[in-house]
Structures are given as C-alpha cells and as structure tokens.
Structure 1
Amino acid sequence: MPARQSRRGVVQISEVANDLIDPVLAKRAGINTMLLGSWEEIAGAEFAECTRPERIAWPRRASEMAGEGGGHQPGVLTIACEGARALFLSHQQGEIIQRINGFFGFPAVSQVRIVQKPVALHTRHRPRPRPLTGAAARHLDELVEGIEGEALKAALKRLGTAVLGRRR
C-alpha cells in the first residue's frame, strides 16, 4: 500500500494507522497508541515485559451529566500484570503515576488498579508455507529481482511464499 500524500508531503503508514486506531482506543479504553508505544519507557525495564496498560477510567461527575463544563478530574489506570510481579508493581504505583502524568503533561491519573493476567502475546504455531516450485517460484524471483537490500529481499520472498503458497 503506498504512502498517503498530504500537503506536508508523504505520510507514514503508522500515522494513518494511529489516526484510525486512536479514536477507537480512546472511546473504549481511554488510552492512545502513543501511550502504548511509550509504555516501555513509562513502566521501566523492570515492568515493561510483564505489564500492559489496559484502560483509563475517567470519573463521571454530576456537572458533566447536567451538561455543564468543568475542570478535569484524573482517572484510574488499569494495568494488566503477570503473576507475582503485581506485588512489586503495587509498591511502585506512585512512581508509575508520576511517569504517566509526566507523559500526558497534566494530572491524568490519580490511581492505579492492577489486574493479574497474562500479558505476553501467545503466538500460535503456524505451519510453514509449502515451498514454491515451478512457475510460481520463478515469478516470485522475478518480482524481487530489483531489490537491493538482502534482508528486505529475504523478507519479501518469505511474504511472497506465504501468499502464493496458500492452499486454496
């Protein structure tokens, strides 16, 4: 898929994806892709691998329900944490809250709620695509022939093998 053009030039695919994903995340979980992308820095090396921000629950106030404006009230950040690490995370809540608020630039979070659950993405085992033979293999070789970078060429060949080698 080619990059989208705008007045300021080419737009990265990640920007397009973030523009699509952020409204959904904001509505469902009160978070954005920037928070998710910066989570490793916010959580620190100690908790980056075993935690994940799940949602920020913003309080509903009577003045909002009555249609009046008003000041911002900080929310509650729910963090998924694996197993016994949750105990150590609970001792670091104050620091996590400071880092989150520093990330947002305003007091966005006043509390952290920790839920114990698996965080690591479990990758299901997928069978390797069958190797291409004959005309399909030659066609794929022709398609990637002009690619200069060996790593990119190898990645495109793997992708092409997976796509062209699919069983129908």
Structure 2
Amino acid sequence: MSTFQRKGAFQISEVANRLIDPVLARKAGINTALIGSWDEIAGADFADCTRPEKITWPRRNADLTSESAGVEPGVLTIACEGARALFLTHAQGELIQRINGFFGYPAIRQIRIVQKPVAPLHKHRRKLRPLSKTEAIRLSEMTTEIENDKLKAALDRLGRAVIGSRK
C-alpha cells in the first residue's frame, strides 16, 4: 500500500468497485471493469444482446513447478439472446482477441454461449446534449494530432460524452 493517503471525498464508483470486485471475482471470476467495458469489447453488433456471465479458470496442477505454473486461459460464459447466438458463434475468434486485448494477456481461450434474455443496460443512460459549435471545434482541435483513427474516434466519443453531459 502506498504511503500517500487521499483526503476528502471518494467517488462512489471507486468504493463500490472495491466492494463488488472481490465478490464478483470469487463467484464469477470477472470484475466490474470487464462488465463496464463490455459494450466496447463486444462491439455494436453484440453489445445490446450479450452479457458476460462468468469466467471459469482451469484448476492448477500441483505437479507444475513455479516456473511453468503461469495463468492458464479460462472459458468465458456469455449470455446471448436468441438467434444472435449463431452470429456470435461465428465471431467468437475476434471477440476472444478483443477480450484478451482488454486484459492485456491471453486470459480467455474459449467462449461458451448460453441462450437467455439479456436485460438492456442502456435504459438509465442520460441523453447527451448536442455540442455547441465552439465545443465541437475545441474537441476537434484536441484530437487533430492523433494519427491512429480508432484511438481518435474513441477519444472523440469520450470527449463528446464528457462535454455533452455538462450543463
């Protein structure tokens, strides 16, 4: 633990994540970061009809030496609605790559799809106000030097969400 201690208020999300993450990790093998980022990981095609449920990690073999006993990839169970599961089956290779990219290491080796209703998470999102002309120009100027198109688009979405949520 660091010697730096923060004084003052904490964000409720930080406190909630510290309370929820250990329970999720113990019960389902996942964390709130994966659930919170699922829309970006799954992409527009599957964000509205899928939900990560749990990660099943393989049991560790006691015979393995400490050098070879790395983290073995697990199986991610995803809830998917109806016929979209067929399309998800065909796209699971790409989805595994996205998930492993999110974790930063090969955490998932396989996806298990369970067909069941998925409650939409977008019901409670506030509508963002359109940006004013000066705000749009300022945001555009902030991202002009970024060469990677995907990064530039992601930062533009983030900027629109932050600026658009202000009154």
Same fold by TM-score, threshold 0.5 exceeded? yes
Matched, 1:54 2:28: no
- Matched to 2:87, the amino acid is F
Partner residue of 2:108? 109
Task: Please identify runs of 4+ aligned residues in structure 1 that moved more than 3 A.
Answer: 66-69
How many Å separate the matches in 2 of 1:95 and 1:67?
A: 31
CA RMSD of aligned residues (A): 1.9
Matched, 1:21 2:20: yes
Map 1:1-150 onto structure 2 (within 5 A): 7=6, 9-63=8-62, 69=66, 70-120=69-119
Residue deviations 1:87-134 (CA, integer Å, cap 9, x gap) = 000000001100000000000000000000011159xxxxxxxxxxxx
Residue deviations 1:52-73 (CA, integer Å, cap 9, x gap) = 000000000322xx69641110
How many Å separate the matches in 2 of 1:67 and 1:28?
A: 25
TM-score by length of 2: 0.65
Q: Percent identity?
A: 72
User: Structure 2: where are the runs of 5+ without partners?
Assistant: 122-167
How many Å separate the matches in 2 of 1:46 and 1:104?
A: 21
Residues 67, 94 of structure 1: CA spacing in aligned structure 2 closer, same or farther, 3 A cutoff?
closer
Residue 9 of structure 1, CA deviation: 4.5
Give the number of equivalent residue pairs: 115
- Matched to 2:83, the amino acid is A
How many Å separate the matches in 2 of 1:68 and 1:97?
A: 28
User: Structure 1: where are the runs of 5+ without partners?
Assistant: 1-5, 123-168
How many Å separate the matches in 1 of 2:110 and 2:51?
A: 16
TM-score by length of 1: 0.64
